Amino acid sequence: MVYKQTSQMFNESEQLLLESFVTNCNSDVFCLYNLPEVVKGALFSRYSRSDKSLRRILLDEFINAPEAGLVDPENRASDRLVAIQKATGFYDRVLIGYGDDSVAELGGAHIACENISNIAAKALEDSRLGISPLEKSTRYVPFNSQVNGHYRYCREPSIMGSSYGKLYEKTLDNLFDTYTQLIDPLLVWVRNCIPRDSDTSERGYNSATRAKALDLLRGLLPMATLTNVGLFGNGRAFEYLLVKLNAAPHRELRSLSQSMQWELDQVIPSFVKRAKTERGAKYAQYLSANHQNTELLTQKLLGNRQAASSTTVQLVQYDPQAEMKVVAAILYPHSNLTFEQVRAYVRDLGTSERVDIINTYAGERESRFHRPGRAFEEVYYTFDILADIGAYRDLQRHRVLTQERQRFSISHGYIIPPELIDADLVKPYKEVLDIAAETTELIAKDLPDASEYVVPFAYLVRWRVKLNLREVYHLVELRSTRQGHPSYRAIAQQMYQQIQIHHPTLVDSMKFVDLNDYALERLSSEQRIDFKLRQQNQ
Ligand SMILES: Cc1cc2nc3c(=O)[nH]c(=O)nc-3n(C[C@H](O)[C@H](O)[C@H](O)COP(=O)(O)OP(=O)(O)OC[C@H]3O[C@@H](n4cnc5c(N)ncnc54)[C@H](O)[C@@H]3O)c2cc1C
């Protein structure tokens, strides 16, 4: 595509200065690079209050301002980035003068958090707006490696400093030993049950069967299991995340907040500094006090009652007027009437007219990536889900919805994958899970928050999910795909089936929900990889 020439002209020396920071000097569309994140934020912040172009502001107010420290006058412009700390005072003044909270969204950082527990990983991934996480997979990576003869799990300090320290280590070592011992026999069993066919390469087959064995055994991993999480996020989201971690009951999370603050201070100091000021501390106290008080109140009000249902997926709330509301939202942007008028019009429509409108709007979907638009955000569904922590770990990562869980505990029991029964490997699996329950209960008497570290992924957790119809399409179609883990595939399938009972026309366009069961989930993905590898080698 050819963009029109920009009216902004730069002389030769200006171009020389600019070219290390912008992708071009002659088009109206360009990217910034090679600049500290705080500078980019400050620059955009000035942009909104100036008639100048961004490159002109960069030149006049940043590159040519020695105080900004962008260009070292002794060196060529290419060696010009000086320490961010030196320039921070300058950018902070620019931000105070021209910025508001949203300026901190204009710069971001990649941060890696390694060797953190799954309690910490879930806390990081609980962020929604502005953060994109990636986590080491229990499907592709066996979690039984050791460092200096020790399995890699969090030695939770308050437990290790208590009389439960030895029991904690013994229980977790037991879980990891069993996980390790079961991998090979289970792999043999999987390969015997599903022999390789001529369509599948040895590479693809080995990969799919290994993934299956690791999927089946992940229930043995305790929440203390160490993992790695990489996050890309904007400054504002990180600031909130740091405050939330500081308010957490777990010591590991508060300490993680300090480490993250230290590292983020080196790349986006201005954007995250309020997390460590009195304002940040007060915010953390507010969150933590409210959490504790509400927990106490709930205990007082509901503490003695037992859960009345063990249903996996329960549709608790839906809108009886959903169809009318969605149809009105579909027509509204294309009319010039008030929303109330459109709704009144839709109320009088017959079923077939409404169906026509919904089908026209959803159109011919050729893949799950063809998502219906925002009219589907007009209605919400609330689900109560009781499923293994493994499934929760996967589904928690969705962001365009509200999810809140109860405590990780052993009180709802655990799942036993039927394959383990068929493979005659269920005895050791159950034994260590039962022992883990005893240890969890014992520790929970004195250290309820820390006891969550013992709970293995096979145990059930209850959580609430409230999501709009548009996210239902995304989540259900993605999470029911063949390559998904059977635990969350079943949840996605049930969500679909329960909505379908009440609103068949609204989910009629959900063409890519997969309701089948598969013996080897990864197989078709591996076959696709084989195909691509063959094409590359041709
Ligand atoms: C088979 C399978 C294997 C997986 N394996 C791994 C793994 O090994 N490691 C791992 O870490 N994760 C893994 N995931 C999880 C995956 O990476 C996502 O985190 C998860 O599916 C939720 O994110 P989402 O973007 O799809 O959906 P949601 O968060 O529900 O968002 C819905 C949609 O909104 C948009 N959206 C939401 N947030 C943003 C944003 N910040 N920026 C831009 N667009 C946004 C996107 O279009 C997105 O698809 C796996 C998922 C599947 C299905």
Domain ranges in the chain? Answer: 12-105, 108-292, 319-375
Closest-CA residue, ligand 1 atom 7, reads 137
pLDDT of residue 76: 44
How far apart (Å, rounded) are the C-alpha atoms in residues 275 and 238?
Answer: 9
Helices (H), 194-234: 202-217
CA of 478 to the centre of ligand 1 (A): 9
- pTM of the full predicted structure? 0.91
Q: Report which secondary-structure segment, H or E, holds 279.
A: helix 278-302
The string of DSSP letters for 18-38 reads HTTTBS-SSBS---B-SS-HH
CB 482 less than 6 A from any atom of ligand 1: no
Q: How far is the CA of 195 from the centre of ligand 1 (A)?
A: 32
What is the Å distance from ligand 1's center to 460 Cα?
23
Neighbours of 164 (CB within 10 A): 22
- Beta strand pairing call for 108-116 and 313-318: unpaired
Confidence (pLDDT) at 80: 42
Residue 538: per-residue pLDDT: 66
**What is the amino acid identity at position 135?**
E
Residue 136 Cα distances to 233, 371, 436, angstroms = 18, 28, 24
Full strand arrangement of the beta sheet holding 380-388: 313-318, 380-388, 460-468, 402-405
3-state secondary structure of 113: strand
Give the 3-state secondary structure of residue 149.
coil
For the Cβ of 128 lying below 6 angstroms from any atom of ligand 1, the answer is: no
322: its two tokens: 């959903």
The 10 Å Cβ neighbour count of residue 28 is 12
Structure tokens at 392: 């929760």
- Are 191 and 210 in contact by the 8 Å Cβ rule? The answer is no
pLDDT of 520: 66
Nearest protein Cα to ligand 1, atom 8:
137
Distance 430 CA to ligand 1 centre (A): 32
Query: H or E element: which one contains 241?
Result: helix 235-246
> Is 135's C-beta closer than 6 angstroms to any atom of ligand 1?
yes
Binding site membership of 83 for ligand 1 (Cβ less than 6 Å): no
Distance CA 123, CA 117 (A): 10
Identify the three-state secondary structure at position 34: coil
State the virtual CA torsion across 513, 517, 522, 527 in degrees, nearest 10: -80
Residue type, 468: N
* Digitized pLDDT (tens) for each residue of the chain, 538 residues in all: 444 455 568 999 999 999 999 999 999 999 999 888 888 888 888 888 788 999 999 998 888 876 666 666 555 444 444 445 556 776 677 766 666 778 888 889 999 999 999 999 999 999 999 999 999 999 999 999 999 999 999 999 999 999 999 999 999 999 999 999 999 999 999 999 888 888 889 998 899 999 999 999 999 999 999 999 999 999 999 999 999 999 999 999 999 999 999 999 998 988 999 999 999 999 999 999 999 999 999 999 998 888 887 889 999 999 999 999 999 999 999 999 999 999 999 999 999 999 999 999 999 999 999 999 999 999 999 999 999 999 999 999 999 999 999 999 999 999 999 999 999 999 999 999 999 999 999 999 999 999 999 999 999 999 999 999 999 999 999 999 999 999 999 999 999 999 999 999 999 999 999 999 887 666 666 667 766 766 777 6
Spacing, Cα 398 to ligand 1 middle (Å): 6
Task: Say how many Å lie between the CA of residue 189 and the centre of ligand 1.
Answer: 32
C-beta of 484 in contact with ligand 1 (< 6 A): yes
Does residue 132 line the site of ligand 1, with CB under 6 A?
yes
| Beta carbons within 10 angstroms of residue 212's beta carbon | 27
H-type alpha helices, 49-83: 54-57
In this predicted structure, what is the pLDDT of residue 79?
43
* Gap between the Cα atoms of 464 and 458, Å rounded: 19
Architecture of 108-292 per CATH? 2-Layer Sandwich (3.30)
Asked if 379 and 326 count as a contact pair (C-beta separation under 8 A), the reply is yes
With a 6 Å cutoff on the Cβ, whether 400 touches ligand 1 is: yes
Residue nearest ligand 1's atom 44 by CA: 132
Could you tell me if the CB of 474 is within 6 A of ligand 1? yes
**SS3 of 443, please?**
helix
Q: How far is the CA of 359 from the centre of ligand 1 (A)?
A: 27
The strand pair at 380-388 and 313-318 is best described as antiparallel
Rounded Cα–Cα distance for residues 241 and 264 (Å): 12
Name all contacts of 281-285 with Cβ < 8 Å and 24+ positions apart. Answer: 281/246, 283/243, 283/247, 284/243, 284/244, 284/246, 284/247, 285/247
